[in-house]
Amino acid sequence: MTKVSSLDVALIRKDFPILDREVNGNPLVYLDNAATSQTPRQVIDAIVDYYSNYNANIHRGVHTLSQEATDKYEQARIKIQKHFNAAHSHEIIFTSGTTHSINLVANGFTSILQKGDELLVSAMEHHSNIVPWQMLCERTGALLKVIPMNEEGDLILEEYHKLLSAKTKMVFCNHVSNALGTINNIKEIIDAAHGFGAAVLIDGAQAAPHIQADVQDLNVDFYTVSAHKMCGPTGVGILYGKEEWLNRLPPYQGGGEMIAEVTFEKTTYADLPHKFEAGTPNICGGIAFGAALDYMNNIGIAEIASYENELLQYATERLLTIEGLRIYGTSKNKTSVISFNIDGIHPYDIGSILDKLGIAVRTGHHCAQPIMDFYKIPGTVRASFSFYNTKEEINALVEGIKRAKAMLS
């Protein structure tokens, strides 16, 4: 395996134990990174260390293990704050992931919206950035309007500007499309929304592995991330929220940790961030998320993005040599995701044959059914690349698709 760009990919691959396994008698070729990334040994070690050496509940314990766990957990919060350049560590709310984060904000806006208010959503959202807002509209009488997209998979921002008005209270959009890989111009989206006094939530789940968002520079109100897209564990993520917005929103859940004082007559709530962190959190997950950020930052987010772009270009060129293959999402600005179909063949059938060859891809609508409806297709095959993938693996993908096509045609 050769060194590509500035990354020693062969050395990096040694950090990921799962990449040594076989699937159906073939070496694993893992190309489903947009669904979840793999976990390096450094993060696995952090998880084992927690459960082996200082497993305890946090914040109120006076004993040594509790204090050690609290320190590690809050150190992870600070790592995340610095990575995304939040102004304060209490603007980082630990959640179970992006879906939880979005629901937290949508629930909070129930007390803010009135009948006839308008919310704008992009046409290329994951279901988790559509359904909570539809539920919010049902509760409040607000209206949901859609920012359209074009055939290339770019949002039509001219139409977005026309949709904005004094009635617009909230705009939500992904930073990167999970189905197409498109990198949206969120700075323009945020600035325009703020011109009408609207808040903006950006779903950063697909962007965070490839782009280091600076939330202060973006001036975004809310930004969401899931750890499992960034070499971290499942079941943990964060909501970044501007302090003034987090103070304005009511708590999402009631219970322990999020209170200041409880009597049967009245409860007062804790300050940020604990106001939104009811119950015992995923302590190990938060600590491991910090370890994952350390790992990726040690490699370099810019170096990762550069190498993944090289893989994207190489894979695009190779795949387009296959007759009858069409790529969906051809924006000039995209991350290392390729969604495609082959004429006359269902994507599930291609994915099933690739699996027999040890090649892991995603098939279906990728929780982005409106995109599939736009293209009038049932779904796609999606190959998504990470910094531990290689051109040799892309070659294996191409040969596997050719084999699948020959069997299914």
Q: What is the pLDDT of residues 399-409, one digit of tens each?
A: 999 999 999 98
Q: Does the pLDDT at position 123 exceed 70?
A: yes
Q: Reply yes or no on whether 284 is catalytic.
A: no
Question: How far, rounded to the nearest angstrom, does the alpha carbon of residue 38 sit from its chain's CA centroid?
Answer: 14
Q: Which CATH number fits domain 45-297: 3.40.640.10, 3.90.950.10, 1.10.287.110, 3.40.1350.10?
A: 3.40.640.10
Give pLDDT tens digits for 299-349: 999 999 999 999 999 999 999 999 999 999 999 999 999 999 999 999 999
Q: Which CATH number fits domain 9-30+301-408: 3.40.50.300, 3.90.79.10, 3.20.20.140, 3.90.1150.10?
A: 3.90.1150.10
Q: Does the pLDDT at position 177 exceed 60?
A: yes
Its pTM stands at 0.96
- Assign 114 to helix, strand or coil: coil
Contact 96, 147 (CB under 8 A): no
Average pLDDT of the residues of the chain: 96
273 preceded by a cis bond (ω within 30 of 0): yes
Q: Are strands 337-342 and 380-384 parallel, antiparallel or unpaired?
A: antiparallel
Give pLDDT tens digits for 203-260: 999 999 999 999 999 999 999 999 999 999 999 999 999 999 999 999 988 887 887 8
In the block, which residue shows the tokens 């992870």?
A: 76
3-state helix, strand, coil in the chain (%, to 5): 45, 20, 40
Q: Does the pLDDT at position 68 exceed 70?
A: yes
CA distance 291 to 83: 12
332 class by beta-carbon count within 10 Å (0-12 exposed, 13-18 middle, 19+ buried): exposed
How is residue 194 annotated by DSSP? H
Q: Which of 137, 173, 231, 367 is catalytic?
A: 367
In the Cβ-directed half-sphere of 74, how many Cα atoms lie within 13 Å?
A: 15
Contact 360, 29 (CB under 8 A): yes
Going from N- to C-terminal start, the domains of the chain cover 9-30+301-408, 45-297
Which one, of 364, 383, 362, lies nearest residue 372 by Cα?
A: 364
CA distance 345 to 323: 12
Query: What is the per-residue pLDDT for 265?
Result: 81
Q: Does the pLDDT at position 142 exceed 50?
A: yes
Q: Which two tokens stand for residue 80?
A: 């995340």
Mean pLDDT check: name the lowest of 76-90, 262-276, 318-332, 357-371. Answer: 262-276
Average pLDDT, integer, range 184-188: 98
Contact 25, 326 (CB under 8 A): no
Q: Which two tokens stand for residue 182?
A: 């498109």
